[in-house]
Structure 1
Amino acid sequence: MSALGLRIFDKAIQDANIWLDELMKMLDWDDKKRAYRLLRSALHTLRDRLQVNEAVHVAAQLPILVRGIYYEGWRPSSPQTDYKHAAEFIAAVESAFDTDPNADPEAAVRAVFTLLDARLSPGEVDDIKSGLPRDIRALWPST
């Protein structure tokens, strides 16, 4: 029997923990709550920068619990953000850390992009990057 009674729930938690563990390892962090806050903020900032159709395509490739985090609070009818520069994008992600800023916020964003680059299909990553300005796209590992 599964810990929560349904294997799909156990798998969703396991998959989300795998993503958080990978992110923590990349950043040499030992705080899962902090890694969650980074992943959530980066996903929301990315989602809000993409066109609605592309944002939905990204979500389709996320693990179910991460997908729920991604969609949390989303208003697809709101205008997308217009960040053109990496510094603006990084600042938006870093706003989730207002009381405990990251020592290297750019490295934190790059780690999330590295995780997405490894976990999403190459075609989806290409689609995401093509929808971003060059300066933000440069934060991806394979650019």
Structure 2
Amino acid sequence: MAMNFENYVKDANTWSNELCTYLGIDDVNKANRIFRAVLHAIRDRIQPGEAIHLAAQLPIIWKGIYFDGYNMHEPVRIRHEKEWLDFIRSKDTFAEIADFPTLEHAHYAFQDVMSFLKDHLSEGQYQQIEHALHSEIMVAA
């Protein structure tokens, strides 16, 4: 089996460019930071098995980003929207103020990323993630 790194880069760039459309921004780097922050928040909020199933549907470069810094542990217990949005903001290392200056920005970013995931993951996988997040958190989406 050949490793076609150009295709891996192409797949990751396709997702990044499409994500810009969902987020309504032109800055691919910002879109990538936002996506990483939301993915890391979801990853740390759901059960490890669910986190692995989600990763299986990501392009290979995004899998690496998704698992960067991951330690399998019990999910973080977050049940309230404000706490969830603060948690997302905390995952955007060094750019929190630029990418999520307010909780409202984090709220809309989470909505947009969830819409993106809904359109790019299998229906079953998306529903598992949706179910794994507390209902009050999903109000934000």
TM-score scaled by length of structure 2: 0.86
1:5-44 alignment, distance < 5 Å? 8-44=4-40
Correspondence for 1:80 among 75, 81, 88: 75
SS in 2 for 1:138: helix
Q: State the partner residue of 1:91.
A: 86
1:42 Cα shift?
A: 0.6
Given that 1:57 and 1:124 are in contact with CA atoms closer than 8 Å, whether structure 2 keeps it comes out as yes
1:62-73 alignment, distance < 5 Å? 62-73=58-69
Deviations 1:96-128 (A, max 9, x none): 133314362211111111111111100111111
Q: State the partner residue of 1:3.
A: none
Q: State the partner residue of 1:102.
A: 100
The yes-or-no answer on 1:52 pairing with 2:48 is yes
1:38 Cα shift?
A: 0.5
Given that 1:12 and 1:65 are in contact with CA atoms closer than 8 Å, whether structure 2 keeps it comes out as yes
Q: Tell me how far apart the structure 1 counterparts of residues 40 and 113 of structure 2 sit (CA, whole Å).
A: 12
1:139 Cα shift?
A: 3.5
Given that 1:117 and 1:125 are in contact with CA atoms closer than 8 Å, whether structure 2 keeps it comes out as yes
Q: What is the root-mean-square deviation of aligned Cα atoms in Å?
A: 1.7
Q: Which has the higher helix share?
A: 2
Residues 14 and 50 of structure 1: CA distance in aligned 2, closer, same or farther (over 3 Å): same
Deviant stretches of 4+, over 3 Å: none
Q: Tell me how far apart the structure 1 counterparts of residues 15 and 82 of structure 2 sit (CA, whole Å).
A: 25
Q: Percent identity?
A: 33
Given that 2:47 and 2:74 are in contact with CA atoms closer than 8 Å, whether structure 1 keeps it comes out as no
Structure 2 segments unaligned to the other structure (5+ residues): none
Deviations 1:40-79 (A, max 9, x none): 1111100000001111111111111111111011000x33
Structure 1 segments unaligned to the other structure (5+ residues): 1-5
Q: Tell me how far apart the structure 1 counterparts of residues 125 and 96 of structure 2 sit (CA, whole Å).
A: 31
The size of the alignment, in residue pairs, is 134
